[in-house]
Amino acid sequence: MINLAGKYPYEYDVIVVGSGIAGLFAAIKAARFARVCLLTKDALYNTNTWLAQGGIAAALGIDDSPEKHMEDTISAGGGLCNLEAVKVMVEEGPGCIKELLELGMPFDRVDGRLAMTREGAHSSNRIVHAGGDATGQVLHETLKKNLFANRAIVVREHTFVTDMVTCEGQVIGVRTLAGETYRAGAVVLATGGLGWVFSCTTNPEVATGDGVVMAYRAGAEVVDMEFIQFHPTVFRSPQEEIILISEAVRGEGAVLRNCHGERFMDEYHEMAELGPRDVVARAIVDQMKKNGSKYVYLDVTLRDPVFLKKRFPTIYGFTLKYGLDLARDWLPVIPAAHYAMGGVRTGLHGETNLDGLYACGEVACNGVHGANRLASNSLLEGLVFAGRVVERIEKTGKRLPGSLHQTCTTDYGEKILPLKPAYRRELGDELRTIMFSKAGILRDEKGLLTVQRFLQQHAPLLEAVPEDRSTWELKNLFVVANLIVNSALMRTESRGSHYRVDYPQPDEAWRLRHLCQSVKRYAAH
Ligand code: SIN
């Protein structure tokens, strides 16, 4: 152990890592009783939250109830949801929406009441939204205003956290790429997702799974990593720019058509275009394969142009740049990696198996999404569980330990020189392509073993300690890929978003079993 006594000036009560909905909400709430430092690796806005279009699901309608919301969440989750976690989320969700309104969130309204739309696998209209399809952007701006207005919060953008700092088994801070140590009584991981490990994704380039990896390296348990949600409809421009086409477009009546112009979703699910995401994504792949086409079409031309421009200004404007008018043209769409249901294993207050470490938002897995997340439950989950993390921290009132013996996993690795940018990009592209084609929407043993061999060839990268951010991110992507592929190989059944062509049915023996990985062990329980 290295004694670092007295060398580090950055001490707070709570450190939050990440600046999506969970990170911002946790920081704002914790600042009511604590000195908070929020660290984020890029600009504050560069998150999946900012890109969110659809909205936030909550049982607010007169014909709706938390019970109905719970039923829909569980049914989408393929038998793997943690029922207690779902109950907490659906019951506390409406209160969180009220808190957002108090923080100044300008949700869209109709005749003075909150406007509510429907998305896939919801039995009621329960998605609140803002700026039409710019919910994430408006939400982020609202939380950002509250964050910067609060003098108890220090915000450090462009600060890449590489590691947890631990002391006698307790997480007491984090280490940054610049070599600084930030210490605190509680560390809240809210680093978001890992979609960048796939070549076709709705996620921004920053979604490299850093949080899952640093927690895993420090000894945290990571669970359900095989469950990756693929969003059925994204538009990819000729320049390979990708934009999500919100499920809310289908919620407002859009239909899917194959390359012959025929509707096909009725053949795959009773809820047709509004079936669960995994079913719709696989149906699209099936149609593309059968017809030898590169995409299918989304057709919302039955809706009035004035309505479409007001309801979906982001999508409308983006696709128009490429000569497609939502009100007149069918949009070519494909599925893309969107959301990780698995992550750092937590309890109902975001607590992990490491004392002092909490996780919330996409980086965490409290079991609320099971094997497949219900649309628009992710922003809600971020809010509800960020709030509960803060409640727990306030109650337990952890302080930094008196002893100053602290260590972190990267203290012992061998440094590597920065990889040449061209090689790093090539390696990253290779990884992302093989992950999408062999560990993506359709998986089988042969393909997964091919990915595993590729990962093994590059194992030395995992042992090294990078000296620059891009190499760190690449290393983290390789660890994430390993975690996903290990679990996907092991789960010899199909459930929710995890579809094994060689085991196409759910297997009762796997129901309720979660694959948990940690540096110390690998277990199914
Ligand atoms: C969408 O707008 O379709 C995405 C919403 C979500 O993933 O929850």
Q: Does ligand 1 come within 6 angstroms of the Cβ of 466?
A: no
Distance 340 CA to ligand 1 centre (A): 13
Closest ligand 1 atom to residue 54 Cα is 2
Q: Is residue 510 included in any domain, yes or no?
A: no
Q: Does ligand 1 come within 6 angstroms of the Cβ of 53?
A: yes
| Dihedral (CA of 487, 493, 498, 500) sign | positive
**What's the mean pLDDT in 157-177?**
93
Residue tagged 């108090």 (tokens): 102
**Last residue of one domain, picked from the residues 380, 396, 412:** 396
Does residue 358 share a domain with residue 328? no
Joined together, the tokens standing for residue 114 give 């909150």
Q: Is residue 373 included in any domain, yes or no?
A: yes
Please, which pLDDT band fits residue 523 given cuts at 50, 70 and 90? low
How far is residue 199 from each of residues 51, 196, 429, 438, measured CA to CA in Å? 18, 7, 7, 11
The proportion of the chain whose per-residue pLDDT surpasses 90, expressed as a percent, equals 85
Joined together, the tokens standing for residue 362 give 């996409």
What DSSP designation does 213 have?
H
Q: Does ligand 1 come within 6 angstroms of the Cβ of 247?
A: yes
Please, which pLDDT band fits residue 409 given cuts at 50, 70 and 90? low
Q: Which of 47, 119, 277, 298 to mutate to test the pocket of ligand 1 (most atoms within 8 A of CB)?
A: 119
Distance 159 CA to ligand 1 centre (A): 28
Secondary structure (3-state) at 128: strand
Helices 469-490, 421-438: inter-axial angle, 10-degree rounding: 20
Q: Is residue 185 included in any domain, yes or no?
A: yes
Q: Is residue 382 included in any domain, yes or no?
A: yes
Does residue 211 share a domain with residue 152? yes
Q: Is residue 285 included in any domain, yes or no?
A: yes
Does residue 247 share a domain with residue 218? no
Does residue 201 share a domain with residue 128? yes
Please, which pLDDT band fits residue 461 given cuts at 50, 70 and 90? confident
Separation between Cα atoms, residue 422 and residue 428, nearest integer Å: 10
Does residue 199 share a domain with residue 116? yes
- Of the candidates 452, 450, 454, the one whose C-alpha atom is nearest the C-alpha of residue 429 is 454
Separation between Cα atoms, residue 16 and residue 30, nearest integer Å: 10
**428 near 420, Cβ under 8 Å?**
no
State the DSSP string of 240-297.
Answer: --EEE--HHHHHTT-EEE-TTS-B-GGGT-TTGGGS-HHHHHHHHHHHHHHHT-S-EE
CATH code (residue 278):
3.90.700.10
Does residue 117 share a domain with residue 266? no
Q: What are phi and psi of 327, to 5 degrees?
A: -80, -15
Distance 372 CA to ligand 1 centre (A): 13
The proportion of the chain whose per-residue pLDDT surpasses 70, expressed as a percent, equals 94
Residues pairing with 173 in the sheet: 165, 183
Q: Which of 228, 245, 247 to mutate to test the pocket of ligand 1 (most atoms within 8 A of CB)?
A: 247
Separation between Cα atoms, residue 378 and residue 389, nearest integer Å: 16
Triad 275, 279, 282: Cα angle to 5°: 140
Does residue 360 share a domain with residue 258? no
CATH code (residue 377):
3.50.50.60
Dihedral through CA 203, CA 205, CA 209, CA 214, nearest 10?
-160
**Last residue of one domain, picked from the residues 336, 360, 381:** 336
Q: Which residues are catalytic?
A: 277
**82 near 367, Cβ under 8 Å?**
yes
Give the residue with greater pLDDT, 250 vs 417: 250
Q: Does ligand 1 come within 6 angstroms of the Cβ of 49?
A: no
Does residue 249 share a domain with residue 205? no
Q: Which of 338, 368, 374 to mutate to test the pocket of ligand 1 (most atoms within 8 A of CB)?
A: 338
pLDDT score recorded for residue 404: 57
Q: Which of 127, 273, 376 to mutate to test the pocket of ligand 1 (most atoms within 8 A of CB)?
A: 376
Does residue 368 share a domain with residue 331? no
Q: Does ligand 1 come within 6 angstroms of the Cβ of 54?
A: yes
Does residue 347 share a domain with residue 318? no
Q: Does ligand 1 come within 6 angstroms of the Cβ of 254?
A: no
Q: What are phi and psi of 300, to 5 degrees?
A: -120, 25
Dihedral through CA 266, CA 330, CA 333, CA 254, nearest 10?
-40
Q: Is residue 379 included in any domain, yes or no?
A: yes
The separation between the first and the last C-alpha atoms of the chain, rounded to the nearest angstrom, is 33
Residue nearest to atom 1 of ligand 1 (CA): 246
Closest ligand 1 atom to residue 120 Cα is 3
Q: Does ligand 1 come within 6 angstroms of the Cβ of 375?
A: yes
The model carries a pTM of 0.94
**What's the mean pLDDT in 30-43?**
97
- Annotate 116-145 with b (16+ C-beta within 10 A) or e (fewer): bbbbbbbebbbbbbbbbbbbbbbbbbbbbe
Q: Does ligand 1 come within 6 angstroms of the Cβ of 378?
A: yes
Does residue 327 share a domain with residue 237? yes
**191 near 18, Cβ under 8 Å?**
yes
Taking only the tens place, the pLDDT of each residue in 66-94 is 999 999 999 999 999 999 999 999 999 99
Give the residue with greater pLDDT, 399 vs 396: 396
Closest ligand 1 atom to residue 376 Cα is 8
Residue numbers of the domain that contains 271: 230-336
Closest ligand 1 atom to residue 378 Cα is 8
Q: Does ligand 1 come within 6 angstroms of the Cβ of 246?
A: yes
Q: Does ligand 1 come within 6 angstroms of the Cβ of 48?
A: no
**What's the mean pLDDT in 431-440?**
98
Separation between Cα atoms, residue 427 and residue 197, nearest integer Å: 12
**Last residue of one domain, picked from the residues 336, 352, 370:** 336
Distance 54 CA to ligand 1 centre (A): 5
Q: Does ligand 1 come within 6 angstroms of the Cβ of 232?
A: no
Does residue 112 share a domain with residue 40? yes
Distance 366 CA to ligand 1 centre (A): 20
Q: Is residue 521 included in any domain, yes or no?
A: no
**What's the mean pLDDT in 276-288?**
95
Distance 377 CA to ligand 1 centre (A): 9
CATH code (residue 471):
1.20.58.100
**Surface-to-core class of residue 412, CB atoms within 10 Å of its CB (0-12 exposed, 13-18 middle, 19+ buried):** exposed
Q: Is residue 355 included in any domain, yes or no?
A: yes
Please, which pLDDT band fits residue 169 given cuts at 50, 70 and 90? confident
pLDDT score recorded for residue 460: 86
**Residue 445 is which amino acid?**
E
Q: Looking at the 3D structure of the chain, how many domains does it have?
A: 3
Joined together, the tokens standing for residue 241 give 């720019």
